[in-house]
Amino acid sequence: MADINKKIKISAIICTYNREPLLVCALDSILSQSFPSDQFEVLVVDNNSNDGTPETVRQKAETAKPAVRYLFEERQGKSYALNRAIREAKGEYLAFTDDDVRLAPDWLERILQRFEMYRPDLIGGRVVPDWNGQWPDWFHPEYRGVVAYYYPYTEPIFLELDRHTLPCGANMAARADVFRKYGMFREDLSDGTLHRSEDYELFRRILKDGGRVLYAPDIVVYHIVQPDRLTRRYVRQWWMTQGMANSRMRLDEDPGVPKILGVPRWMYRRALDDLVRMVARFVINPRCREAFYHETRLWRFYGFVKDRWTRGKRA
């Protein structure tokens, strides 16, 4: 067994919840990688699915090369599933993706090449949205996170905190020892809600502690955009839960900032500005894209306030 473990260069990790049809596509793309099948393993972490996910994964595992392992994580929330996979993984490098993507055939090969060439702690790759039809007229460029669109630079670049946009968890990889050095994914950013930001928080934490994060645009995945993500209701909810996650991430970053009911005062001023801009644009054109954009910024503010006020009541 020890000799087998030494051969495993990469553990490819997919966390899933009730997405069996999409998971099949993701698994097929990872099982057809150009990377040698005896040098990587696939870990699928089932986070309480009640569809056919367990049977689908086990059927794939019976005949698949490389090895496919099914793990069950009963605690609801992606961070729990990710951390379970990290503890179970055998690879020297850990490659993370989602259950609603297709991977480029050379995904793992490129990951290993970039680790060996640049020696980073973490790598973020390019995420290309894959959808049918056109974006809705109201869909603002700032909503790229809603569909996990990430393609900011055309050449490999080491990212700097607060200077560059940070990668997303649909396409990221790390050395296994990074989690021993910097810690695991935070498990307190949400209660299993829509937007978690555990990937963003990890990148920020590692950069703050002096780690090296590389963006490599030749490491590519295609995110399959489901129709429900292109609705106003989904976008509102996404921004609200992002606001809640931001509140939790920044609890230790603003101890000296003037606050009202636990919320930095400057955020109230920004929210008032968004409200004025939203109303002004709505009066001109109720379907104006900019009007909805400022509305969603208010939903993010609401999520932040809701989390802070809830924490204040508990205290």
Please classify residue 289 by burial: count the beta carbons closer than 10 Å to its beta carbon, then call 0-12 exposed, 13-18 middle and 19+ buried. middle
pLDDT for 193: 59
223 and 236 in a single domain? The answer is: no
Which amino acid, one-letter code, is at 118?
Answer: Y
222 and 240 in a single domain? The answer is: no
CA 103 and chain centroid, separation: 15
Count of other CB atoms within 10 angstroms of residue 233 = 8
179 and 263 in a single domain? The answer is: no
Please classify residue 315 by burial: count the beta carbons closer than 10 Å to its beta carbon, then call 0-12 exposed, 13-18 middle and 19+ buried. exposed
Residue after which a domain boundary falls, among 171, 206, 227? 227
297 and 185 in a single domain? The answer is: no
Question: ω before 66 within 30° of 0 (cis)?
Answer: yes
Residue 279, C-beta contacts closer than 8 angstroms, at least 6 positions apart = none
53 and 146 in a single domain? The answer is: yes
268 and 220 in a single domain? The answer is: no
CATH number at residue 53: 3.90.550.10
pLDDT for 3: 46
Counting the structural domains of the chain, the total is 2
CA count, 13 A, side-chain hemisphere, 188: 7
122 and 216 in a single domain? The answer is: yes
11 and 155 in a single domain? The answer is: yes
163 and 273 in a single domain? The answer is: no
Please list the residues that pair with 264 across neighbouring strands. 259
CA 235 and chain centroid, separation: 16
Alpha helices in 147-264 (DSSP H): 178-182, 198-208, 232-249
Residue after which a domain boundary falls, among 189, 206, 227? 227
Residue 313, C-beta contacts closer than 8 angstroms, at least 6 positions apart = none
Residue after which a domain boundary falls, among 227, 253, 275? 227
d(CA 308, CA 42): 39
263 and 214 in a single domain? The answer is: no
Count of other CB atoms within 10 angstroms of residue 139 = 19
Q: Which domain covers residue 254, as residue numbers?
A: 232-314
pLDDT by 10s per residue, the chain, length 315? 334 445 899 999 999 999 999 999 999 999 999 999 999 999 999 999 999 999 999 999 998 889 999 999 999 989 999 999 999 999 999 999 999 999 999 999 999 999 999 999 999 999 999 987 778 889 998 898 888 888 889 999 999 998 898 998 999 999 999 999 999 999 888 666 556 789 999 999 999 999 999 999 999 999 999 888 899 999 999 999 999 988 988 877 777 788 888 899 999 999 999 999 999 999 988 788 999 999 999 999 999 999 998 876 554
Altogether, the residues listed in the chain come to a count of 315
Please give the C-alpha separations between residue 28 and each of 207, 231, 274, 302, in angstroms, as whole numbers: 34, 29, 45, 40
User: What single DSSP character describes residue 200?
Assistant: H
d(CA 294, CA 281): 9
Alpha helices in the chain (DSSP H): 2-7, 20-31, 53-63, 78-88, 107-118, 178-182, 198-208, 232-249, 265-284, 289-314
Residue 7, C-beta contacts closer than 8 angstroms, at least 6 positions apart = 38, 39
Structure tokens at 62: 């019976």
- Number of helices (H), then strands (E), in the chain: 10, 11
